[in-house]
Structures are given as C-alpha cells and as structure tokens.
Homo-oligomer: A and B are copies of this chain.
Amino acid sequence: MPKITFYNLPEDKKEKLINAVKKEFSRVPLYDASISNIVRSARIPRGSFYQYFEDKEDAFFFILNGIVINNNNNFAALLRKHNGDLFDSMIDFFQYIIKEEENVQFLKNAFLNMTYKIENSFANIFRNRENNDNFREISSLINTSNLNISNDQDLFHIMQIIFTVTIRNVVEKFAKELSKQEALGNYIIEMNLLKNGLANKK
C-alpha cells in the first residue's frame, strides 16, 4: 500500500506520478521496471518516490488494484445481471477483460508474468469493495441450482477452477496475440467443456 504521503498529494501531482508509474509498467514487466525511469518521467526527485511508495512492487500493485477494482463493473454486478449464472457471467467478464483498451500494455505485462501474488490481486475482482468476507457474499449471488455441488467446498473449488481457466485464457490471448474472436471462441469451448464435464457420460 502506498504511504499516507502519497494520498495527501495534490491531485495533479498524484496523477502525474500515476501516469509515470503506468508508463513504466506498460513498457516492461514488474521485474524489469526501473524506479529511475519512473522518477525521471514524473520529474520528481528519487527520494520522493520512496516517500510515496514502499518500493516498485508497491507502486505496481497500487496501479493493478486500481485497474481491477476500478469501475463498478465488479463481479457481483455481473452475477446480478445474469441472474446468478456463473458461466454466463464469466463469459461476459472475459470479454470485458480482453476488450479493455486503455491499459492493454500494462495488463499484457501483468498477465504474462502472472505470479501467485499478482494472480491473487486479480482475485479481488471477486471481492466486493466493502466486504472482505467475499466468498459468502459472492456465493449467495450464484445460482447454485444448476451447479454440480453437494456442499460449500465444492462451490469453492468450482470457482477456483473457473477463475484459473479464465486467467489462463487471457494469458493465452496475450501470449499468442489472438484476436478477440479467437480468444473468445477458445474460452467458450473451454467453458462448455467445464460445464458438461471432460469425461464421457455413459
């Protein structure tokens, strides 16, 4: 988390800084990014950067969370829109991610270097801003009647699986530079396989 000093900054300076940070992390992935570039580009002295952020990671995750949480289009909203249908909501969500234009480069770098920590940051999508006790909140919105579950644990695993496969499809899109159509096509195939099961029903 950025330090208080950062939040106290006048809007325009804050924005200048955010832009510089975004720019650098759009250029290269987290571990290739350099603070020197950021301060150069934001025209602030080096010491100031450390007045605002703990380190590179701190700045990175601040931006990432911003993009993820950003608009109200959080996952709960999608679930409501689709009357609790998990699969339809995910397909909607997938399209939303891959059509994002403003931060493509940033997201590309993030997805192609999706470490466990970064992936967890993305999991915030499934959290409500107000409520950290996300699983309850979200699971209550899911129409479980058309899911193959016998308990809460199953639901948890189902969400885990869907989330993982989704991320993987986004990564694939970036890595292989698939068109939106291709990526969506693949994703829908996989969602259907997940729905119906990979094994044959006799």
- Chain A residues in the interface with B (C-beta under 8 A): 31, 86-87, 111-117, 145-148, 153-154, 157-158, 160-162, 164-165, 168, 171, 175, 186, 189-190, 193-201
Contacts and interface: CB of A to CB of B under 8 A. Distances in A.
A195 B198 contact: yes
A198 B161 contact: yes
Copies of this chain per assembly: 2
A162 B168 CA distance: 11
B165 A164 contact: yes
B195 A197 contact: yes
A200 B111 CA distance: 32
A89 to B, nearest CB: 13
A198 B148 contact: yes
A171 B116 contact: yes
Contacts of A198: 86, 147-148, 158, 161-162, 194-195, 197
Contacts of A146: 199-200
A195 B199 CA distance: 5
A148 B190 contact: no
Contacts of A194: 161, 194, 197-199
A158 B198 CA distance: 7
Contact of A201 (B116, B148, B189, B193): B148
Nearest to A112: B116
Contacts of A148: 193, 196-201
20 contacts: A111-B116, A112-B116, A113-B116, A114-B115, A115-B115, A116-B175, A147-B199, A147-B200, A148-B200, A154-B193, A157-B186, A157-B193, A158-B198, A160-B190, A161-B194, A194-B194, A194-B199, A197-B197, A197-B198, A201-B201
